[in-house]
Amino acid sequence: MKKIMVVVSFLVGIAFLNAQDAVSIMNGAKNRIQKDTISTRSRMVISAKNGSTSERLIDQYSKDDAQGNSRSAIVFQRPANVAGTRFLTIDNAAGGSDRWIYLPSLGKVRRIAASESGGSFMGTDFSYDDISSLNRDINLDTHTFLKEEPLNGVPCYVIQSIPQDSAYQYSKTITWIDKNNAIIYKSEMYDRRGTLIKVMETSDFKDVQGRLTAMQTKVSTLAAGTSTTIYMDIIKYDDSIPEGVFTTAYLETGRTR
């Protein structure tokens, strides 16, 4: 009996260390780039199954508030049929997100319901949850270290993350993280039936103000055969961003007052 107890205790200890290591790895990846703000201009290239493409130009501003809530405002500049569309998301440190969108055709701000979080963001392969995924608090998921394996010749940790909230869009996410510099290269997203439905990949890393930054992020929807790639044309860290940008008034007027 004593031998069995020793073995059980050993296995429990290994599982605990495994969980602690997975959390530590994910925390390092999420907080790899230290910054106060991010300002970007990028192109979203949407590729259809037949090979045709369409492009959208967007500006994005991100800044945490004093309570640790992650805030991001997105402004569509072109083409004409989406120009003036503005989107605000606030990912709360305690969990949950608040999202609003302004559509010029409606002339008013509309709150995005929680039930819409898995829906397509402006006709792209990104869902509303995907837009928030990089700011998702690691404490909202249970992380497990799966293995170590190379990805494109780079040694990586492979971490599984299962949301604690059953209402979240994905049942699990599996992430490949560079062992040496904590870069997230790839994430696989699975639906409630355990089917792999999307893959997110980052590439073309460049030094921006001393931070190694992905200049391309691609999300592929496997069943549809479509993808959306974000190409960073301009990215600036620590630029001053007015607080008014992160308000519904800004969505409606495009001005910070």
In the prediction, which pLDDT does 97 show?
84
Q: What is the pLDDT of residues 6-54, one digit of tens each?
A: 444 434 444 444 656 999 999 999 999 999 999 999 999 999 999 999 9
What is the pLDDT averaged over residues 175-187? 96
CA distance 37 to 61: 7
In the prediction, which pLDDT does 168 show?
85
In the prediction, which pLDDT does 213 show?
97
Q: Among residues 16, 8, 27, which one has the least CA distance to residue 177?
A: 27
In the prediction, which pLDDT does 19 show?
55
In a domain, 7, yes or no: no
Give this prediction's pTM.
Answer: 0.88
In a domain, 124, yes or no: yes
Domain encompassing residue 87: 12-253
In the prediction, which pLDDT does 186 show?
97
In the prediction, which pLDDT does 78 show?
95
Q: What is the pLDDT of residues 184-227, one digit of tens each?
A: 999 999 999 999 999 999 999 999 999 999 999 999 999 999 99
Number of folded domains in the chain?
1
In a domain, 99, yes or no: yes
CA distance 157 to 163: 19
Q: What is the pLDDT of residues 96-110, one digit of tens each?
A: 789 999 999 999 999
What is the pLDDT averaged over residues 247-253? 95
Q: What is the pLDDT of residues 49-68, one digit of tens each?
A: 999 999 999 999 999 998 88
Q: What is the pLDDT of residues 120-173, one digit of tens each?
A: 999 999 998 888 777 788 888 999 999 999 999 999 999 999 999 877 889 999
In a domain, 1, yes or no: no
In a domain, 4, yes or no: no
CATH number for the domain harbouring residue 170: 2.50.20.10
In a domain, 2, yes or no: no
Res. 229 pLDDT band, cuts 50 70 90: very high
